[in-house]
Amino acid sequence: MEQQLLIYNTLSKKKELFVPFTPGFVGLYVCGPTVYGDAHLGHSRPAITFDLVNRYLQHLGYKVRYVRNITDVGHLVADADEGDDKIGRKARVEQLEPMEVVQKYTNSYRRNMTQLNVLPPSIEPTATGHIIEQIEVVRKVLEKGYAYESNGSIYFDVEKYSHDYHYGKLSGRNLDDMLSNTRELEGQEEKHSGADFAIWKKAQPEHLMHWPSPWSEGFPGWHTECIAMSTKYLGETFDIHGGGMDLMFPHHEAEIAQSCATLGHDSVRYWMHNNMITINGQKMGKSLGNFILLDEFFSGTHPLLDQAYSPMVIRFFMLQAQYRSTLDFSNEALKAAEKGLERLMKAVELLDILPVSTNSTVDVASLDKACYEAMNDDFNSPIVVANLFDGVRMINAINDGKESIDADDLVKLKKLYHDFVFDILGLQQPETAVASQQGILNGVVELLLNLRMEAKANKDWATSDRIRNELTALGFEIKDKKDGFEWTLKK
């Protein structure tokens, strides 16, 4: 851990040296998905960004407790304090239990994350699993006087809070603007002021999910779950809280307010936010027809896509931009990423067969240093990738005999590529992995069928029939031919 890591803190708006609260341990909390539909491109950016953060911290030797929640109640349509719950609405549309909706889309989210080689979090808590903890947060906010009850719902009193703390310090918004922007909205009659936000809502008849509380049969406000779960699993102060920039206001601003209101201080040391994705220069949106699901990228089935793009191409493309920059998706850019990834992976394969010389004409140490410097500068993955491509030219030149490398340097170069390409950037060669599994399976089946041929030749019908029957039971179709056999695996 001799590396000096700088993290851009969205709260202070500058890069700060990373020093964890507990030496060797990092508490990382990231706002996870609201599971009411299949994951789209927008979901992949925070997932990949904080996977990079998690992987790099682990690479540096930290023990990381990575908590990424699943929002399964309380997130209302249009991120508002009134109206349908997103899960509840989907449950009605799909004629499912709300928890069936949650399970279905949690499963599909996890499947997509595995495809993108995003490591699972250490803890994946759900909002519905932490109702008691959320009621406790609400109770404490009320006790400290920063909330009020209105018709069975509890609202956070932003104006009162603003006398003692700075509401808007993360997002840079000021209270007067917030008040003038929210005054017009409907459903505000229960609130003292338009800037207030619900921390407990009394359930209306259309709400399928509700729990008893001291104030009403209802459900927690969306902004309360993360403070309840981060405190429970990471403590009253923890190192890094991450999420997409779209969550800065009101979600994260409201989290800060609740932690200051209940604990008297911020619980987060470093706030990190990834920037947004555009598609062909436009913001993603259902109404714009450019809302592309991850599965549609992988299968190429969306009308805006020229072809299918593998999960690794999507991942590599994302890592070619720094997480704080916007990133624009287009077919051209993805095809370029596909070619680049192929070139990088070819060079990685070459590493195993490079000729070794008695002396090196290449500078592996400088390349290694440049890769770490980039990562230490706020996880600057595009610079890492650029350095790795410098290394690709180096590898190709050694392979062509234009440069030479000694045994020591070759070991270092292999380690560098292994660490950065696979461990830190989390890239994979999926086709080769699948192909090699298929190759192993083919080999085993051929071996068994050759043993069966031998058994038949020896008139050992019992063994011959047993191999045939058991392979058939496993789903293989075996056809005997005059001079051998044919087999297929039925799907």
23-31, 39-47, 91-99, 264-272 -> range binding Zn ion (CB under 5 A): 23-31
Distance, CA of 11 to CA of 81 (rounded, Å): 25
CB of 269 to Zn ion, least distance (A): 17
CB of 256 to Zn ion, least distance (A): 11
7-15, 24-32, 83-91, 152-160 -> range binding Zn ion (CB under 5 A): 24-32
268 or 351: CB nearest Zn ion: 268
According to DSSP, residue 34 is labeled B
CB of 143 to Zn ion, least distance (A): 23
87 or 344: CB nearest Zn ion: 87
254 or 375: CB nearest Zn ion: 254
CB of 247 to Zn ion, least distance (A): 6
Pick out residues in 220-259 that bind Zn ion (CB under 5 A): 226
CB of 251 to Zn ion, least distance (A): 5
Do residues 344 and 388 lie in contact, with contact meaning Cβ atoms separated by under 8 Å? Answer: yes
37 or 221: CB nearest Zn ion: 221
25-33, 202-210, 231-239, 450-458 -> range binding Zn ion (CB under 5 A): 25-33
71 or 290: CB nearest Zn ion: 71
Residue 184's SS3 state is coil
The CA–CA distances, whole Å, from 326 to 15, 99, 276 equal 19, 34, 5
87-95, 149-157, 219-227, 455-463 -> range binding Zn ion (CB under 5 A): 219-227
Instruction: Tokens for 411, please give them.
Output: 């070991």
Size of residue set near Zn ion by CB under 5 A: 2
Distance, CA of 42 to CA of 57 (rounded, Å): 24
* Residue from 115, 96, 101, 41 nearest 71 by CA: 101
CB of 371 to Zn ion, least distance (A): 32
Place of tokens 């409907």: 186
The answer to whether residue 31 forms part of the interface with Zn ion (CB under 5 A) is yes
CB of 50 to Zn ion, least distance (A): 13
* Residue from 222, 220, 270 nearest 242 by CA: 270
Distance, CA of 443 to CA of 380 (rounded, Å): 43
118 or 226: CB nearest Zn ion: 226
Contacts 24+ apart (CB under 8 A), 419-425: 419/59, 420/371, 420/384, 420/388, 421/344, 421/348, 421/388, 423/55, 423/59, 424/52, 424/55, 424/56, 424/59, 424/375, 424/384, 425/52, 425/55, 425/315, 425/316, 425/319, 425/381, 425/384, 425/385
Distance, CA of 126 to CA of 447 (rounded, Å): 48
- Name residue 65's beta-bridge partners: 27
CB of 31 to Zn ion, least distance (A): 3
CB of 378 to Zn ion, least distance (A): 22
30-38, 104-112, 207-215, 476-484 -> range binding Zn ion (CB under 5 A): 30-38
The answer to whether residue 47 forms part of the interface with Zn ion (CB under 5 A) is no
Pick out residues in 386-415 that bind Zn ion (CB under 5 A): none
Residue 144's SS3 state is coil
Residue 162's SS3 state is helix
Distance, CA of 285 to CA of 6 (rounded, Å): 34
260 or 395: CB nearest Zn ion: 260
Distance, CA of 369 to CA of 379 (rounded, Å): 14
29-37, 113-121, 433-441, 470-478 -> range binding Zn ion (CB under 5 A): 29-37
Type of residue numbered 2: E
CB of 221 to Zn ion, least distance (A): 11
226 or 392: CB nearest Zn ion: 226
31 or 334: CB nearest Zn ion: 31
31 or 35: CB nearest Zn ion: 31
5-13, 31-39, 57-65, 156-164 -> range binding Zn ion (CB under 5 A): 31-39
Return residues touching Zn ion (CB under 5 A). Answer: 31, 226
